[in-house]
Amino acid sequence: MYNQLQETEEIAKSASARANYNEQYSRKNNIKLHGIPENKGEQLLEVVNEILTEVGVAIEENEVMAIHRIPGQKDRPRPILVKLRNNEAKSKVMRKRTAIKSLSTNGNTGVKITDDVTRQNTELISRLLMDERITAAWYFNGSIYGQNGGRRIKFDIYDDIEKKTRKR
């Protein structure tokens, strides 16, 4: 019975990890813009391009598959989710991430752009950052990485941080 329970647990973890991977893969070309004030009847592509042109980049209409506001934190403007057609379009925008962060929009500072990361991957990054062995954690190209000393380590949602950070 115990062996069967362990086997079932491993199958469930594997299925959950694959589902997380597939969900993250489906978000691969998505970006989120935070801190952009909301206006009734706004044309989101125009709003986004207004900010992007200030840093020397723009998104063409044919590069956008979908663009809309998503639920966010109370008392803050809802983030804008942009689903782009390909990674090339996303990369040209993400390269301007630092410049975008330094912008001020309509008197409001704090505009930022982020990758669209799954909840499980966001939680993994948080766990890694709380661990004293990890000096930095980030998302890149569908995966989560952590810095341990001079080593960059790729993590998955069910990895044991202790085992992965041991010197080999």
Alpha-carbon span 132 to 153, nearest angstrom: 15
Tell which residue, 163, 139, 140, 158, has the closest CA to residue 148. Answer: 163
From first to last of the 168 residues of the chain, give the pLDDT tens digit. Answer: 989 999 999 999 999 999 999 999 999 999 999 989 999 999 999 999 998 998 899 999 999 999 999 998 888 999 999 999 999 999 999 999 888 888 765 555 678 899 999 999 999 999 999 999 999 999 998 999 999 988 999 999 999 999 998 866
Strands 143-148 and 151-155: antiparallel
Q: Closest Cα to residue 121, out of 156, 153, 148, 147?
A: 156
pLDDT at residue number 100: 85
* Residue 103, pLDDT score: 72
CA pair distance 102, 99, nearest whole angstrom: 5
**Per-residue pLDDT, 104:** 61
- Predicted local distance difference test score (pLDDT) of residue 109: 61
Residue 32 in 3-state DSSP? strand
- Are β-strands 108-109 and 80-84 bridged in parallel, bridged antiparallel, or unpaired? unpaired
Measured between alpha carbons, how far is 20 from 14 in angstroms, rounded to an integer?
A: 10
Burial of 54 (0-12, 13-18, 19+ CB in 10 A): middle
Per-residue pLDDT at 154: 95
d(CA 63, CA 84): 6
pLDDT at position 135 is 94
Which contiguous run of DSSP H or E holds residue 80? strand 80-84
Helices within 27-132 (DSSP H only): 44-53, 87-94, 97-101, 119-130
Q: Please tell me what DSSP assigns to residue 130.
A: H
Instruction: Please give the Cα distance from 141 to 125 (Å, whole number).
Output: 14
